[in-house]
Amino acid sequence: MTLAMLINGQPSKLLRADDRGLQYGDGLFETVLLAHGRVRFLDDHLRRLFAGCDRLGINAPDAATLRGEIAQVTAGRDRGVLKIIVTRGAGGRGYRPSNAMASTRVVALYPFNPSPQAGLRLRWCEIRLGRNARLAGIKHLNRLEQVLAQSEWQEGEADEGVMLDTEGEVVCATSANVFAVRDGVLVTPDLRFCGVQGVMRAQVLKAAARLRLTASEEPLWPHDLETASEVFITNAVRGIRSVASLDSLQWSETGVATRMANALSLSEP
Amino acid sequence: MTLAMLINGQPSKLLRADDRGLQYGDGLFETVLLAHGRVRFLDDHLRRLFAGCDRLGINAPDAATLRGEIAQVTAGRDRGVLKIIVTRGAGGRGYRPSNAMASTRVVALYPFNPSPQAGLRLRWCEIRLGRNARLAGIKHLNRLEQVLAQSEWQEGEADEGVMLDTEGEVVCATSANVFAVRDGVLVTPDLRFCGVQGVMRAQVLKAAARLRLTASEEPLWPHDLETASEVFITNAVRGIRSVASLDSLQWSETGVATRMANALSLSEP
């Protein structure tokens, strides 16, 4: 399934079973697009990865080493999905982390599977996201909530699901951030309690500033989507995708999403 | 570090790096005591493991196969800590689980490290537990909250930490359940939003019924510990342990904990 994989710099598809990434989900990941032979927004992905290491107290890998491994795995490839996992490391038993532990690096390239460009059909997820400000924003490996969310529908029944937190705030789609246009203002959940600070989300917020479009990160509620004139979702691999429906809600506007995609020169790989 | 390890029945210490246990913490685990050559409360551990598989939609391993692997790993050993991990399986990319996936089994034996029998010194953890009823009770692999909790103190500064959820309810210790005696009644958090339904916790509740001691699973708040006459914590490996202090709170009573340990014929391995 993988086109190439390096574990701690060595070609391998096997990891120590006592790695804390497996034992406790004690690590982080990044999913990055390789398009036209270039790794898109790599600096942003690495910045978030290292910020996550810092937040969890994981010894960050050497940046030059990691970049070298990424270059090796993507060499000669035109397109694909690059997945980077960094865990706290292997060994020991029990939750207590050791400061001395060397982190584990998994750098893998997967095939890119194009998805339809038409407006997406979304649904509300039943499972809620637990709130924990200490884990909010970073892309850690504790993802059971997203796994259960995606198992709520069969492939083909919907393109994505929108997740609320346990208090009913809108947070994200299962693997994308959510934006709404309301009275000409671009809004997106502030992710102070849960959700991932997406790389594409940050690019959209920066592009909005350049385009002089007012954008706001704030608490969002289902009502804010119900009253939106346009909705789109963002993901580092799939880009900016207009939303056509969310259960019974429907949108035909795609103007802001299109302006953003043009401003960011996004194109399918 | 491990004394023996089987992965899907084969002696190995390596796991496929595309296993969903690593990718998303998409799995479950059990930590079981091997004492005097016997695996303690194994039926209860397997029952919880299979209940967890059912809750997460993971294809449960064949029980006879798993029992055979446990017998193989513990054969000829007098004592140790048996750790069983079951993940949804390996392969694919993306959160969506496949129904057809065969689960992964890791069965490993670790050395048992005895800990002091004296009353434990506990502290309040700063990190809170996010609430999610869908994940409450089962022993899944998403354990970053516990990892961060245990990193709040240095080894030797305290024996355990008590965790509250985001609303301030008492839930558990980082790797144990919590009991308090209040006005002669045994109380323990009901774990409806988070925490693990411990195997030793269930044994204590059963023993209380046999001893005609009123016991109640209910929402517990810090005030309930502050006004308790006795506090103890329970864990399948370490048994029932009296608590001497929780930051500035102190207890000298150990009567109920002792009666429980006697009723369950618990002894150090």
pLDDT tens by residue, B78-129: 999 999 999 999 988 899 998 889 999 999 999 998 877 789 999 999 999 9
Look at A131 and B166 and tell me if their CB atoms are within 8 Å: yes
Residues whose CB is less than 8 angstroms from the CB of residue A61 and which lie 6 or more positions away in sequence, other chains included: A86, A103, A105
Distances (CA, A) of A142 to A27, A149, A158, B126: 8, 13, 24, 20
Q: Looking at the structure, do residues A46 and A88 belong to the same domain, yes or no? A: yes
Q: Looking at the structure, do residues B258 and B136 belong to the same domain, yes or no? A: yes
Q: CB-CB: which of A15, A88, A166 is closest to B17?
A: A15
Q: Looking at the structure, do residues A180 and A258 belong to the same domain, yes or no? A: yes
Look at A21 and B26 and tell me if their CB atoms are within 8 Å: no
B104 CA to chain A: closest CA distance, Å? 11
Show which of A83, A110, A137 is a domain's final residue: A110
Q: CB-CB: which of A17, A85, A143 is closest to B95?
A: A143
Show which of A110, A138, A168 is a domain's final residue: A110
Longest dimension (CA), chain A: 55
Look at B131 and A15 and tell me if their CB atoms are within 8 Å: no
| Residue A265, pLDDT score | 86
Quickly tell me which residue has 């269930």 as its tokens. B202
pLDDT at B195 over 70: yes
Burial of A183 from C-beta contacts in 10 A (0-12 / 13-18 / 19+): exposed
Domain range enclosing B218: 120-263
Cα–Cα distance between A59 and A70 in angstroms, integer? 19
For chain A (269 residues), the mean pLDDT of every run of 10, in chain order, is 94 97 98 96 98 97 98 97 98 88 97 86 98 98 98 94 98 98 97 98 96 97 97 96 97 96 82
Q: How confident is the model at residue B76 (pLDDT cuts 50, 70, 90)?
A: very high
Residue of B22, B30, B148 for testing the chain A interface, max A β-carbons within 10 Å: B22
Q: CB-CB: which of B83, B95, B145 is closest to A146?
A: B95
Residue A135 located in a structural domain: yes
| Residue A93, pLDDT score | 82
Q: CB-CB: which of B16, B97, B128 is closest to A147?
A: B97
Q: Looking at the structure, do residues B48 and B136 belong to the same domain, yes or no? A: no
Q: How do A215-218 and A185-189 pair as beta strands? A: parallel
Residue A96 located in a structural domain: yes
Report the pLDDT averaged over residues B143-152: 98
Q: Looking at the structure, do residues B148 and B235 belong to the same domain, yes or no? A: yes
**Contacts across the A-B interface (CB distance below 8 Å):** 195
Inter-residue contact B113 to B80 (CB < 8 Å): no
Report the pLDDT averaged over residues B176-192: 97
Domain count, chain B: 2
Q: Looking at the structure, do residues B158 and B100 belong to the same domain, yes or no? A: no
Residue A212 located in a structural domain: yes
Residue A115 located in a structural domain: no
Residue B218 located in a structural domain: yes
Show which of B75, B110, B145 is a domain's final residue: B110
Q: Looking at the structure, do residues B148 and B47 belong to the same domain, yes or no? A: no
Q: Is the ipTM of this complex over 0.85?
A: yes
Q: Looking at the structure, do residues B127 and B254 belong to the same domain, yes or no? A: yes
Q: Which residues of B touch A115 (CB under 8 A)?
A: none
Q: Which residues of B touch A194 (CB under 8 A)?
A: 130
Report the pLDDT averaged over residues B189-198: 98
Cα–Cα distance between A4 and B147 in angstroms, integer? 31
| Residue B184, pLDDT score | 93
Q: Which residues of A touch B91 (CB under 8 A)?
A: 1
SS3 A68: helix
Closest residue by Cα to residue A103 from A9, A5, A3:
A9
Residues whose CB is less than 8 angstroms from the CB of residue B53 and which lie 6 or more positions away in sequence, other chains included: B28, B59, B60, B86, B103
Look at B1 and A97 and tell me if their CB atoms are within 8 Å: no
